[in-house]
Structure 1
């Protein structure tokens, strides 16, 4: 996730590359401007044939394309925001469970309380790795005790297995502490909410926007930008590459931005900062237990991962 000042200057807004989509699309934009320059140099002639294109079809085509790009980006942002909402739910439930451990099991030994807390924190890190399709990280390994590591060895869905282990441990410790059935039900409901978070994140991660829809948009955007110089060369002449570059930046940028935020769990600059969210979860849980907590996450070169 890009970190930025609340009130950026006009210079930053117009010329900053950090957080911009330009690093992703600049090759396409320059290639389109190069084609426009060739069209201007040849006066729109292709193999001794004068290509004449009027503005009317491009106006209708551009309007339709803008509507489709806007709709796709709206769907992509809905996926992004739902993913952020689910991770916010994960943080809320983790704090609730930790608070309940402290309030309803005051006699629980420090080692047992830490084991439960580490399992809960490990669920967050395991979910991050699972959504990014990465192997289990060192963050998960440092939090799991030998018994938990042996129980989870070979599991394909590690966060789901961790959630099952956490449920068993919470019930066992609650029964040992003599907590009432009502409290146990309430804690189980919190664990059920974690299951919903896991399933919701998996739905987003493993159900992409239909590929034919994306493929059609990619093709139409490229064809539109490559044919546009033949429409403009007779009316604006040498300014054609500049005008085409601006339109190409707009359409290619919207297309690329939709691609990025449609998969919010990736590690691109505009995706969710799952590393930072996991660290925030760890800090929240450990501070509620009055245990030493790691330092807050810091952005690197303006990017929070």
Structure 2
């Protein structure tokens, strides 16, 4: 059957367009291991080909078995997990996981991109999408809208201009500054709450700037419109490395308004797909595929010891 092997114009090239106004590369063919374009990956790692698990395939919802496919929705580039090319093709760690899951479950996993997490949740609720492989932050309030199958542990920090001219070292030091966040994300909620705290303490509120996706948020910092971008450490590390020395991380090693932060895939609440997906992830953990994919994309520090359902609290 046709696998979900994505051909992509490198999304790193797309990021480069937004960050440095360079012309993107024309794209490349996927690697022989089926993992897609590896530009941006930190290591050349062979992703194992999966054998079909017939028991898991048979446990899929009937409509997915009958169609032989399911749609995974994302809310735009979130490198190195999700990297959306100019032609809407998707690469990154999540795309590699989709390829492996598709092989294991014997279905084609197609990707669709929408604007923002709210559109992901509403589209899933309306039945337009079967799954979002994410990773999306797992919080109890979101568990009222969808079921999480968590596969990432994340940390939230700041990307700032090199030299950190605004002196942002933690959440408390954001008062009176211009902070970019991705719209409808958990970081937006935390930074808005912090702005209220700033005012209650007699300090200047935060100028919260909400953007549609990660590249636009980074561009706001690089162009001087924002003093920092507040988001997950893994993608911010990627953008810092791609910035040519223009950006650095700040606020690392701080809670920054978050306790243990789990991120994962989403399925509709009470969907039988949740248990199937968890079992599939457990198999990818056991056979080394999960570790290989995370290593390929430099995400070793974000690996969970084991996947789980609704780990966020």
* TM-score by shorter chain over 0.5: no
Structure possessing the higher radius of gyration over alpha carbons: 1
**TM-score scaled to structure 1, two decimals?**
0.25
**TM-score scaled to structure 2, two decimals?**
0.24
Q: Identify the structure with bigger relative contact order (alpha carbons < 8 Å, sequence gap 6+).
A: 1
